[in-house]
Amino acid sequence: MMMTCVPGVIGWFFCALATNQKLVLTGRFFSGVSAAFLGVSVRTYLVEVADTSVRGAASMLTEVMKGVGAIVIIAFGMLMPWYFLAFLCGAQYFLFSCVLVPFLPESPTYLAVTGEEEKARHILRRLRGPSVNLDNEIHKLKEENRRSSNDSSVWKIFSDSQVIKHILIIAGLFFISNFSGSEVIRANATRMLQESGLAMDGEKSTIVVFSVLLCGNITGFILLDRLGRRWNLVLSLVLVVISHAAMGVYVYFDEADKLLTAVDVVPLESSNRTTHLDEYVTGQSAGIADLSWIPLVCLMVAAFGSNLGIAPIPWILSVEYFPTSIRSQVMGVSTMTGNLISFVALQAYSPMQAAFTQAGLYWSYASVAALGIVFTFCFVQETKGNRIG
Protein backbone atom coordinates (compact mmCIF):
# COMPACT_ATOMS: atom_id res chain seq x y z
CA MET A 1 0.00 0.00 0.00
CA MET A 2 2.93 2.35 0.62
CA MET A 3 4.40 1.53 -2.79
CA THR A 4 1.24 2.77 -4.54
CA CYS A 5 2.40 6.32 -3.80
CA VAL A 6 5.11 6.18 -6.46
CA PRO A 7 3.12 5.34 -9.63
CA GLY A 8 0.05 7.16 -8.27
CA VAL A 9 1.79 10.49 -7.77
CA ILE A 10 3.73 10.15 -11.05
CA GLY A 11 0.52 9.38 -12.95
CA TRP A 12 -1.46 12.34 -11.66
CA PHE A 13 1.57 14.63 -12.05
CA PHE A 14 1.70 13.74 -15.76
CA CYS A 15 -2.06 14.33 -16.09
CA ALA A 16 -1.93 17.69 -14.29
CA LEU A 17 0.91 19.04 -16.46
CA ALA A 18 -0.15 17.38 -19.72
CA THR A 19 0.03 19.51 -22.87
CA ASN A 20 -0.96 16.75 -25.28
CA GLN A 21 -2.81 13.44 -25.40
CA LYS A 22 0.33 11.29 -25.07
CA LEU A 23 1.13 12.77 -21.65
CA VAL A 24 -2.45 12.20 -20.48
CA LEU A 25 -2.29 8.54 -21.58
CA THR A 26 1.10 8.14 -19.88
CA GLY A 27 -0.34 9.54 -16.67
CA ARG A 28 -3.37 7.26 -16.88
CA PHE A 29 -1.06 4.27 -17.37
CA PHE A 30 0.81 5.01 -14.14
CA SER A 31 -2.39 5.71 -12.21
CA GLY A 32 -3.78 2.41 -13.52
CA VAL A 33 -0.71 0.56 -12.25
CA SER A 34 -1.19 2.23 -8.89
CA ALA A 35 -4.87 1.30 -8.76
CA ALA A 36 -4.01 -2.34 -9.50
CA PHE A 37 -1.43 -2.38 -6.68
CA LEU A 38 -3.92 -0.79 -4.33
CA GLY A 39 -6.82 -3.07 -5.25
CA VAL A 40 -4.87 -6.26 -4.54
CA SER A 41 -3.16 -5.07 -1.36
CA VAL A 42 -6.14 -3.35 0.28
CA ARG A 43 -8.59 -6.21 -0.34
CA THR A 44 -6.04 -8.73 0.93
CA TYR A 45 -5.22 -6.63 3.98
CA LEU A 46 -8.84 -6.08 5.00
CA VAL A 47 -9.84 -9.76 5.04
CA GLU A 48 -6.70 -10.60 7.05
CA VAL A 49 -7.20 -8.01 9.80
CA ALA A 50 -11.02 -8.21 10.08
CA ASP A 51 -12.76 -10.60 12.42
CA THR A 52 -14.74 -13.37 10.68
CA SER A 53 -18.10 -11.95 11.78
CA VAL A 54 -17.51 -8.58 10.05
CA ARG A 55 -15.22 -9.66 7.20
CA GLY A 56 -17.86 -9.11 4.53
CA ALA A 57 -18.67 -5.60 5.75
CA ALA A 58 -14.95 -4.77 5.90
CA SER A 59 -14.52 -5.95 2.31
CA MET A 60 -17.52 -3.91 1.12
CA LEU A 61 -16.16 -0.83 2.86
CA THR A 62 -13.63 -0.35 0.04
CA GLU A 63 -16.48 -0.26 -2.50
CA VAL A 64 -18.42 2.23 -0.37
CA MET A 65 -15.42 4.55 -0.14
CA LYS A 66 -14.75 4.21 -3.88
CA GLY A 67 -18.34 5.36 -4.48
CA VAL A 68 -17.93 8.31 -2.12
CA GLY A 69 -14.66 9.25 -3.82
CA ALA A 70 -16.22 9.09 -7.30
CA ILE A 71 -19.04 11.45 -6.33
CA VAL A 72 -16.66 13.86 -4.60
CA ILE A 73 -14.32 13.96 -7.61
CA ILE A 74 -17.19 14.55 -10.06
CA ALA A 75 -18.55 17.33 -7.83
CA PHE A 76 -15.12 18.94 -7.49
CA GLY A 77 -14.69 18.67 -11.25
CA MET A 78 -17.73 20.89 -11.68
CA LEU A 79 -16.13 23.57 -9.49
CA MET A 80 -12.43 23.62 -10.37
CA PRO A 81 -10.08 23.24 -13.38
CA TRP A 82 -9.18 19.68 -14.37
CA TYR A 83 -5.44 20.16 -13.73
CA PHE A 84 -6.13 21.32 -10.16
CA LEU A 85 -8.23 18.21 -9.66
CA ALA A 86 -5.34 16.04 -10.90
CA PHE A 87 -2.99 17.63 -8.37
CA LEU A 88 -5.60 16.95 -5.67
CA CYS A 89 -5.73 13.24 -6.63
CA GLY A 90 -1.94 13.02 -6.53
CA ALA A 91 -1.88 14.63 -3.08
CA GLN A 92 -4.46 12.09 -1.89
CA TYR A 93 -2.18 9.23 -2.97
CA PHE A 94 0.73 10.80 -1.11
CA LEU A 95 -1.25 11.34 2.12
CA PHE A 96 -2.66 7.81 2.06
CA SER A 97 0.61 5.99 1.32
CA CYS A 98 3.04 8.11 3.32
CA VAL A 99 0.97 9.49 6.22
CA LEU A 100 -1.82 6.97 6.94
CA VAL A 101 -0.51 3.53 5.96
CA PRO A 102 2.74 3.61 8.02
CA PHE A 103 0.61 3.72 11.19
CA LEU A 104 -1.50 0.68 10.27
CA PRO A 105 -0.62 -2.70 11.84
CA GLU A 106 0.86 -5.38 9.61
CA SER A 107 -1.46 -8.27 8.69
CA PRO A 108 -1.36 -10.69 11.67
CA THR A 109 -2.14 -13.69 9.48
CA TYR A 110 0.79 -12.84 7.21
CA LEU A 111 3.10 -12.55 10.23
CA ALA A 112 1.86 -15.85 11.69
CA VAL A 113 2.32 -17.74 8.42
CA THR A 114 5.82 -16.30 7.84
CA GLY A 115 7.01 -17.30 11.34
CA GLU A 116 6.83 -13.95 13.16
CA GLU A 117 4.47 -15.25 15.82
CA GLU A 118 5.30 -12.75 18.57
CA LYS A 119 4.45 -9.80 16.34
CA ALA A 120 1.30 -11.60 15.22
CA ARG A 121 0.26 -12.14 18.88
CA HIS A 122 0.77 -8.50 19.73
CA ILE A 123 -1.33 -7.28 16.78
CA LEU A 124 -4.04 -9.91 17.29
CA ARG A 125 -4.36 -8.84 20.93
CA ARG A 126 -4.95 -5.25 19.80
CA LEU A 127 -7.41 -6.24 17.07
CA ARG A 128 -9.38 -9.05 18.77
CA GLY A 129 -9.26 -8.02 22.43
CA PRO A 130 -8.16 -9.89 25.58
CA SER A 131 -10.80 -12.64 25.40
CA VAL A 132 -9.34 -14.37 22.32
CA ASN A 133 -7.21 -17.50 22.71
CA LEU A 134 -4.16 -16.40 20.72
CA ASP A 135 -2.45 -19.82 20.75
CA ASN A 136 -5.55 -21.41 19.25
CA GLU A 137 -5.92 -18.61 16.70
CA ILE A 138 -2.34 -18.87 15.47
CA HIS A 139 -2.41 -22.69 15.46
CA LYS A 140 -5.51 -22.68 13.23
CA LEU A 141 -3.91 -20.15 10.88
CA LYS A 142 -0.80 -22.26 10.47
CA GLU A 143 -2.83 -25.44 9.94
CA GLU A 144 -5.00 -23.81 7.29
CA ASN A 145 -1.91 -22.64 5.42
CA ARG A 146 0.29 -25.70 5.91
CA ARG A 147 -0.63 -27.46 2.65
CA SER A 148 -0.15 -24.32 0.56
CA SER A 149 3.08 -23.41 2.36
CA ASN A 150 4.60 -26.76 1.45
CA ASP A 151 3.79 -26.17 -2.22
CA SER A 152 4.82 -22.54 -2.41
CA SER A 153 6.13 -22.47 -6.00
CA VAL A 154 3.89 -20.75 -8.50
CA TRP A 155 3.59 -23.83 -10.74
CA LYS A 156 2.58 -26.10 -7.86
CA ILE A 157 0.02 -23.59 -6.62
CA PHE A 158 -1.72 -23.45 -9.97
CA SER A 159 -1.58 -27.20 -10.51
CA ASP A 160 -3.81 -27.72 -7.45
CA SER A 161 -7.27 -28.76 -8.72
CA GLN A 162 -9.06 -26.95 -5.87
CA VAL A 163 -7.25 -23.69 -6.66
CA ILE A 164 -8.06 -24.01 -10.37
CA LYS A 165 -11.72 -24.75 -9.56
CA HIS A 166 -12.02 -21.61 -7.43
CA ILE A 167 -10.26 -19.48 -10.06
CA LEU A 168 -12.72 -20.72 -12.71
CA ILE A 169 -15.68 -19.93 -10.43
CA ILE A 170 -14.37 -16.41 -9.88
CA ALA A 171 -13.75 -15.98 -13.63
CA GLY A 172 -17.35 -17.09 -14.25
CA LEU A 173 -18.61 -14.50 -11.77
CA PHE A 174 -16.51 -11.79 -13.43
CA PHE A 175 -18.02 -12.76 -16.80
CA ILE A 176 -21.56 -12.63 -15.40
CA SER A 177 -20.86 -9.32 -13.65
CA ASN A 178 -19.51 -7.58 -16.73
CA PHE A 179 -21.81 -9.09 -19.37
CA SER A 180 -24.88 -8.34 -17.26
CA GLY A 181 -23.93 -4.68 -17.62
CA SER A 182 -22.34 -3.67 -14.30
CA GLU A 183 -19.22 -1.98 -15.73
CA VAL A 184 -21.07 -0.81 -18.83
CA ILE A 185 -23.53 1.11 -16.65
CA ARG A 186 -20.69 2.72 -14.73
CA ALA A 187 -18.87 3.80 -17.90
CA ASN A 188 -21.79 4.58 -20.24
CA ALA A 189 -24.62 5.74 -17.95
CA THR A 190 -25.13 9.10 -19.66
CA ARG A 191 -24.94 7.56 -23.12
CA MET A 192 -27.46 4.83 -22.20
CA LEU A 193 -29.90 7.42 -20.84
CA GLN A 194 -29.63 9.52 -23.98
CA GLU A 195 -30.08 6.53 -26.31
CA SER A 196 -33.17 5.47 -24.38
CA GLY A 197 -34.73 8.85 -25.19
CA LEU A 198 -34.25 10.61 -21.84
CA ALA A 199 -32.27 13.85 -22.15
CA MET A 200 -30.27 14.76 -19.06
CA ASP A 201 -27.30 16.98 -18.36
CA GLY A 202 -24.13 14.84 -18.52
CA GLU A 203 -22.60 15.78 -15.18
CA LYS A 204 -25.89 15.68 -13.27
CA SER A 205 -26.87 12.28 -14.68
CA THR A 206 -23.42 10.92 -13.82
CA ILE A 207 -23.77 12.09 -10.21
CA VAL A 208 -27.26 10.55 -10.03
CA VAL A 209 -25.96 7.20 -11.32
CA PHE A 210 -22.95 7.16 -9.00
CA SER A 211 -25.16 8.08 -6.04
CA VAL A 212 -27.34 5.05 -6.77
CA LEU A 213 -24.22 2.88 -7.15
CA LEU A 214 -23.13 4.12 -3.73
CA CYS A 215 -26.54 3.24 -2.25
CA GLY A 216 -26.12 -0.28 -3.63
CA ASN A 217 -22.70 -0.58 -1.98
CA ILE A 218 -24.02 0.71 1.34
CA THR A 219 -26.90 -1.78 1.25
CA GLY A 220 -24.43 -4.58 0.45
CA PHE A 221 -22.25 -3.38 3.34
CA ILE A 222 -25.25 -3.85 5.67
CA LEU A 223 -26.51 -7.16 4.24
CA LEU A 224 -23.39 -9.11 3.26
CA ASP A 225 -22.66 -10.57 6.71
CA ARG A 226 -26.37 -11.16 7.33
CA LEU A 227 -27.54 -12.80 4.10
CA GLY A 228 -24.20 -14.24 3.04
CA ARG A 229 -22.42 -14.00 -0.31
CA ARG A 230 -24.68 -16.37 -2.27
CA TRP A 231 -28.01 -14.80 -1.32
CA ASN A 232 -26.61 -11.32 -1.87
CA LEU A 233 -25.59 -12.43 -5.36
CA VAL A 234 -29.03 -13.88 -6.06
CA LEU A 235 -30.86 -10.77 -4.83
CA SER A 236 -28.53 -8.59 -6.89
CA LEU A 237 -29.01 -10.63 -10.06
CA VAL A 238 -32.82 -10.73 -9.69
CA LEU A 239 -32.89 -6.92 -9.64
CA VAL A 240 -30.59 -6.78 -12.67
CA VAL A 241 -32.78 -9.25 -14.62
CA ILE A 242 -35.99 -7.31 -13.90
CA SER A 243 -34.52 -3.88 -14.66
CA HIS A 244 -32.75 -4.82 -17.92
CA ALA A 245 -35.73 -6.84 -19.17
CA ALA A 246 -38.05 -3.89 -18.50
CA MET A 247 -35.61 -1.47 -20.11
CA GLY A 248 -35.49 -3.65 -23.22
CA VAL A 249 -39.29 -3.70 -23.47
CA TYR A 250 -39.48 0.09 -23.11
CA VAL A 251 -36.77 0.72 -25.73
CA TYR A 252 -38.37 -1.78 -28.13
CA PHE A 253 -41.78 -0.08 -28.07
CA ASP A 254 -40.21 3.39 -28.03
CA GLU A 255 -38.26 2.60 -31.20
CA ALA A 256 -41.40 1.17 -32.79
CA ASP A 257 -43.28 4.35 -31.90
CA LYS A 258 -40.56 6.51 -33.46
CA LEU A 259 -40.78 4.48 -36.67
CA LEU A 260 -44.54 5.00 -36.71
CA THR A 261 -44.24 8.76 -36.30
CA ALA A 262 -41.64 8.86 -39.09
CA VAL A 263 -44.06 7.40 -41.66
CA ASP A 264 -45.35 10.03 -44.06
CA VAL A 265 -49.13 10.27 -43.92
CA VAL A 266 -50.58 10.25 -47.45
CA PRO A 267 -54.20 11.49 -47.82
CA LEU A 268 -56.33 8.65 -49.13
CA GLU A 269 -59.95 9.79 -49.43
CA SER A 270 -60.35 12.94 -47.39
CA SER A 271 -58.46 15.39 -45.23
CA ASN A 272 -60.62 14.26 -42.32
CA ARG A 273 -59.16 10.75 -42.46
CA THR A 274 -55.63 12.18 -42.51
CA THR A 275 -56.45 14.27 -39.46
CA HIS A 276 -57.64 11.22 -37.54
CA LEU A 277 -54.40 9.37 -38.36
CA ASP A 278 -52.32 12.38 -37.29
CA GLU A 279 -54.21 12.47 -34.00
CA TYR A 280 -53.60 8.74 -33.48
CA VAL A 281 -49.82 9.09 -34.08
CA THR A 282 -49.63 12.14 -31.82
CA GLY A 283 -51.52 10.27 -29.11
CA GLN A 284 -49.15 7.32 -29.36
CA SER A 285 -46.14 9.64 -29.04
CA ALA A 286 -47.65 11.37 -26.04
CA GLY A 287 -48.32 8.01 -24.42
CA ILE A 288 -44.67 7.02 -24.74
CA ALA A 289 -43.52 10.46 -23.62
CA ASP A 290 -45.56 10.09 -20.45
CA LEU A 291 -43.47 7.01 -19.68
CA SER A 292 -40.13 8.75 -20.18
CA TRP A 293 -39.31 8.17 -16.49
CA ILE A 294 -39.06 4.40 -17.09
CA PRO A 295 -35.50 4.30 -18.50
CA LEU A 296 -34.18 6.33 -15.58
CA VAL A 297 -35.86 4.04 -13.03
CA CYS A 298 -34.69 0.89 -14.85
CA LEU A 299 -31.12 2.13 -15.08
CA MET A 300 -31.13 3.12 -11.41
CA VAL A 301 -32.46 -0.28 -10.33
CA ALA A 302 -29.85 -2.04 -12.50
CA ALA A 303 -27.07 0.14 -11.05
CA PHE A 304 -28.29 -0.44 -7.49
CA GLY A 305 -28.66 -4.19 -8.05
CA SER A 306 -25.22 -4.55 -9.61
CA ASN A 307 -23.43 -2.79 -6.76
CA LEU A 308 -25.47 -4.67 -4.18
CA GLY A 309 -23.73 -7.92 -5.07
CA ILE A 310 -22.63 -9.03 -8.52
CA ALA A 311 -20.15 -6.17 -9.05
CA PRO A 312 -18.21 -6.34 -5.72
CA ILE A 313 -18.62 -9.97 -4.62
CA PRO A 314 -16.35 -11.57 -7.27
CA TRP A 315 -13.54 -9.36 -5.90
CA ILE A 316 -14.38 -10.37 -2.32
CA LEU A 317 -14.47 -14.10 -3.11
CA SER A 318 -11.17 -13.85 -5.01
CA VAL A 319 -9.61 -13.05 -1.62
CA GLU A 320 -11.73 -15.27 0.62
CA TYR A 321 -11.37 -18.47 -1.41
CA PHE A 322 -7.62 -18.80 -0.76
CA PRO A 323 -5.41 -18.96 2.38
CA THR A 324 -2.77 -16.34 3.24
CA SER A 325 0.21 -18.27 1.89
CA ILE A 326 -1.09 -18.15 -1.72
CA ARG A 327 -3.62 -15.32 -1.50
CA SER A 328 -1.47 -12.61 -3.09
CA GLN A 329 -0.46 -14.77 -6.10
CA VAL A 330 -4.01 -15.93 -6.82
CA MET A 331 -5.45 -12.48 -6.16
CA GLY A 332 -3.08 -11.13 -8.81
CA VAL A 333 -4.39 -13.67 -11.32
CA SER A 334 -7.98 -12.87 -10.37
CA THR A 335 -7.38 -9.13 -10.74
CA MET A 336 -5.88 -9.64 -14.19
CA THR A 337 -8.80 -11.88 -15.20
CA GLY A 338 -11.43 -9.46 -13.89
CA ASN A 339 -9.88 -6.45 -15.60
CA LEU A 340 -9.45 -8.32 -18.90
CA ILE A 341 -13.12 -9.41 -18.93
CA SER A 342 -14.17 -5.86 -18.00
CA PHE A 343 -12.12 -4.49 -20.92
CA VAL A 344 -13.75 -6.94 -23.34
CA ALA A 345 -17.25 -6.13 -22.08
CA LEU A 346 -16.71 -2.38 -22.44
CA GLN A 347 -15.27 -2.75 -25.95
CA ALA A 348 -18.16 -5.05 -26.92
CA TYR A 349 -20.84 -2.50 -25.97
CA SER A 350 -21.10 -0.80 -29.37
CA PRO A 351 -20.72 -4.00 -31.49
CA MET A 352 -23.37 -5.77 -29.37
CA GLN A 353 -25.66 -2.76 -29.68
CA ALA A 354 -25.26 -2.80 -33.48
CA ALA A 355 -25.81 -6.57 -33.70
CA PHE A 356 -28.70 -6.94 -31.22
CA THR A 357 -30.28 -3.43 -31.37
CA GLN A 358 -30.54 -1.37 -28.19
CA ALA A 359 -33.46 -3.43 -26.86
CA GLY A 360 -31.69 -6.70 -27.66
CA LEU A 361 -28.60 -5.48 -25.82
CA TYR A 362 -30.60 -5.01 -22.62
CA TRP A 363 -32.26 -8.39 -23.06
CA SER A 364 -28.84 -10.02 -23.49
CA TYR A 365 -27.73 -8.44 -20.18
CA ALA A 366 -30.88 -9.76 -18.52
CA SER A 367 -30.26 -13.25 -19.94
CA VAL A 368 -26.68 -13.36 -18.63
CA ALA A 369 -27.90 -12.22 -15.20
CA ALA A 370 -30.56 -14.96 -15.22
CA LEU A 371 -27.89 -17.56 -16.02
CA GLY A 372 -25.86 -16.05 -13.18
CA ILE A 373 -28.58 -17.01 -10.69
CA VAL A 374 -28.30 -20.64 -11.78
CA PHE A 375 -24.49 -20.43 -11.73
CA THR A 376 -24.56 -19.07 -8.17
CA PHE A 377 -26.72 -21.89 -6.85
CA CYS A 378 -24.67 -24.55 -8.66
CA PHE A 379 -21.08 -23.42 -8.11
CA VAL A 380 -20.59 -20.54 -5.64
CA GLN A 381 -19.55 -21.70 -2.17
CA GLU A 382 -20.67 -19.65 0.82
CA THR A 383 -17.87 -18.07 2.87
CA LYS A 384 -20.00 -16.21 5.42
CA GLY A 385 -18.74 -17.02 8.92
CA ASN A 386 -16.05 -19.42 7.60
CA ARG A 387 -12.40 -19.11 8.53
CA ILE A 388 -10.28 -18.44 5.47
CA GLY A 389 -6.77 -18.78 6.88
In order, the DSSP letters of 199-224 are ---HHHHHHHHHHHHHHHHHHHHHHH
71-75, 159-163, 261-265, 367-371: which is most confident? 367-371
- From CA 144, how far away is CA 64, in angstroms rounded? 30
Task: Please check the confidence at residue 155 and state whether its pLDDT lies above 80.
Answer: no
pLDDT tens digits along 9-62:
999 999 999 888 999 999 999 988 888 888 888 888 888 888 888 888 888 888
- What pLDDT sits at residue 218? 92
Of 81-90, 203-212, 266-275, 299-308, the one with minimum mean pLDDT is: 266-275
pLDDT of residue 171: 93
Q: What is the pLDDT of residues 315-346, one digit of tens each?
A: 989 888 888 878 888 888 888 898 899 999 98
pLDDT of residue 281: 40
Question: What are the structural domain ranges in the chain?
Answer: 153-389
Q: Which residues contact 152 (CB under 8 A, 6 or more apart)?
A: 325, 326
pLDDT interval class at 373 (50, 70, 90) = very high
Q: Which of 389, 109, 384, 32 is closest to 225 using CA atoms?
A: 384
CB environment 190-200: b (16+ within 10 A), e (fewer): bebbeebbeee
pLDDT at 200: 57
Q: Decide if pLDDT at 268 tops 80.
A: no
Least confident segment among 127-141, 172-186, 339-353? 127-141
Is there a contact between 134 and 125 (Cβ–Cβ < 8 Å)? yes
The rounded mean pLDDT for the chain is 81
How far apart (Å, rounded) are the C-alpha atoms in residues 237 and 372?
7
Evaluate if residue 278 carries a pLDDT over 70.
no
pLDDT in tens, 55-79: 888 888 888 988 888 888 888 888 8
Residue 333 and residue 155: Cα distance in Å, rounded? 13
Which superfamily does CATH assign the domain made up of 153-389 to? MFS general substrate transporter like domains (1.20.1250.20)
pLDDT value at 121 more than 70: yes
pLDDT at residue number 250 = 87
Contacts with 254 (C-beta within 8 Å, 6 or more apart), sequence order: 196, 197, 288
